[in-house]
Amino acid sequence: MDARQITIRALKYGNVPHYEWNTTLLELTDSHIFVLGERGRKLTHHTKGKEFIVEHRTIEFFSFDSWFTVSADMADGGDPAVLLQY
């Protein structure tokens, strides 16, 4: 797996910045992306004009073809490799 740092920039309607955070790319295809958010990362909430520290790891799925995303919190330092086997 070629893990590399990327920045996720979530936009609201009209391409207005909403959220932004750095994360690790796990998988990229023509239809989706999986990323791993590390514990202690900074999340910028542009709409509220605030920054937050996320205290847990997450594995996140973003579809390029569908309207939904998925974010799963990983308790107790969970191993993302286990989740990707399913």
pLDDT tens-digit map of 5-56: 999 998 888 899 999 999 999 999 999 999 999 999 999 999 999 999 998 8
Chain center to CA of 32 = 12
What pTM was estimated for this model as a whole?
0.76
For residue 85, pLDDT over 60 is answered with: no
Average pLDDT of the segment spanning 47-67: 92
Between CA 86 and CA 13 the distance in angstroms is: 33
Half-sphere exposure of 80 (CA within 13 A, CB side): 21
Half-sphere exposure of 84 (CA within 13 A, CB side): 16
3-class DSSP state for residue 77?
A: helix
